[in-house]
Amino acid sequence: MKVLHFFKTYWPDTFGGVERTIHAIARSTASHGVETQVLSLSRAPEKNTQPLDGHMAPKAKLDFELASTGFSRDVFRKFGALAKQADLVHYHFPWPVMDIVHLRSGHGKPALVTYHSDIVKQRLILPFYRPLMMRFLGDVDAIVATSPNYLESSPVLKAFRAKSTVIPIGIDEGAYPAPGEADNLWCRSTVPGPFVLFIGVLRYYKGLDVLIRAADRARCRIVIAGSGPVERELRQQAKTLRRDNVLFLGYVAEPHKMALLHNCLGFVFPSNQRSEAYGISLVEAAMCSKPMISCELGTGTSYVNKADKTGLVVPPSDPTRLAEAINRLVDSPAEAMKWGRAARDRYARLLTADRMGKAYADLYYRLGGVPAGDTKPKDT
């Protein structure tokens, strides 16, 4: 089966959470006979034509961006040609231009959408976009929510419960490098003493300003690995508040990232808005047997991190409760280890790429009119 994924950005231009999810779906469905192409926008489409881990990532010319939305005239032609070659189209929401392209194309192929997030930041334009959004979501054959929590809490998805299903995002442990001794030495020399860890793109909804405010009450170092749009403001906040136990590492390579994950006391994920719909970094921490701290948002963060089973879940934007949770990891190592073991078990049962790939392959073949029992893996 030939599947065309469609989203505004993809590798090598960007590789954020949605892009990483698309990549994991492409890799994990390949063994079930699925051939993948991923269409996205790029300022230099002619330079991005090489295959990526067994699938192609064609580009359409990006003309301009407005309110985090990429626009392109070329994408209508490119999408139409690729959709004709595909057996099924897989959209990734939200991206309003995608809705227009779908409705204009009339491609007639089975279609599904993975619903990654409600419209949160651009809520002022939502009343104008809502008619288009509802028409698009009504037109596709199936909608996938990434957690039961998000399916239950999203006001948009409630209107489409009959054709919605849940497929949690999973990751492939084999795609991550094992840290070597040099990586562990780097970690111990860079971050002396016990520490909790955040990894991710530094965005407005990550709640890192709350984490910095909590740092003066935390009895360990707080390591923030990653870069992003609000990095300068966060560094200035930590300097102004004299949070000397907060360490910014900026971007770290994958082997160093894994060394940090393996050496930390636990993983702290203070995202405080529904823009944080899932949290792949949480899954990475669970894979590494780490206890987690996250905030209750009604999203997939509380699916990955089960309160008092794999870690602690605290109210959003509450520095006092966040500091208390961090100190509990410091003061109760046996309890923290128990949560870490439970996190690893939850990853192995529910959050692997193989499990996700099988679920998507079954859905693809069902929408294409092929019984699920016929989704036989290719010979290897």
**Among 94-108, 115-129, 254-268, where is mean pLDDT lowest?**
115-129
pLDDT band at 16; cut points 50, 70, 90 = confident
* Strand (E) or helix (H) holding 252: none
Nearest to 89 by CA among 305, 304, 364, 377: 364
d(CA 184, CA 188): 6
CATH top-level class of 2-172+352-374 = alpha beta
pLDDT for the residue numbered 378: 40
> Is the separation of the CB atoms in 40 and 57 below 8 Å?
yes
pLDDT band at 375; cut points 50, 70, 90 = very low
pLDDT for the residue numbered 176: 95
pLDDT band at 379; cut points 50, 70, 90 = very low
pLDDT for the residue numbered 106: 94
DSSP for 14-77, please give it.
Answer: ---HHHHHHHHHHHHHGGGT-EEEEEEEESSGGG--S-BTTBB--EEE--EEETTEEE-SHHHH
**Among 48-62, 229-243, 268-282, where is mean pLDDT lowest?**
48-62
pLDDT band at 373; cut points 50, 70, 90 = very low
Where does residue 22 rank: exposed (0-12), middle (13-18), buried (19+ CB within 10 A)? buried
**Among 11-20, 187-196, 260-269, 320-329, where is mean pLDDT lowest?**
11-20
Per residue in 78-101, pLDDT (tens digit) is: 999 999 999 999 999 999 999 999
Asked if domains 2-172+352-374 and 173-350 share a fold, the reply is yes
pLDDT for the residue numbered 376: 44
Q: Does residue 253 have a pLDDT over 90?
A: yes
Residue found under tokens 């069902």: 366
Per residue in 28-82, pLDDT (tens digit) is: 999 999 999 999 999 989 876 678 889 999 999 999 988 778 999 999 999 999 9
Mean pLDDT, rounded, for 12-16: 86
- Phi (first) and psi of residue 223, to 5 degrees: -105, 130
CATH top-level class of 173-350 = alpha beta
Is 0.85 topped by the overall pTM?
Answer: yes
pLDDT for the residue numbered 17: 87
Residue found under tokens 């860890």: 197
d(CA 373, CA 355): 15
Mean pLDDT, rounded, for 227-254: 97
DSSP for 109-132, please give it.
Answer: S-EEEEE-----TTGGGHHHHHHH
pLDDT for the residue numbered 127: 87
Residue predicted with more confidence, 182 or 16: 182
pLDDT for the residue numbered 179: 96
Give the domain ranges of the chain: 2-172+352-374, 173-350
pLDDT for the residue numbered 68: 76
pLDDT for the residue numbered 374: 52
Mean pLDDT, rounded, for 191-208: 96
Percent of the chain with pLDDT over 70: 96
pLDDT for the residue numbered 15: 82
Q: Does residue 380 have a pLDDT over 50?
A: no
> Is the separation of the CB atoms in 137 and 156 below 8 Å?
yes
**Among 23-27, 116-120, 284-288, where is mean pLDDT lowest?**
116-120
Mean pLDDT across the chain: 94
Percent of the chain with pLDDT over 90: 88
Per residue in 108-126, pLDDT (tens digit) is: 999 999 999 998 876 667 8
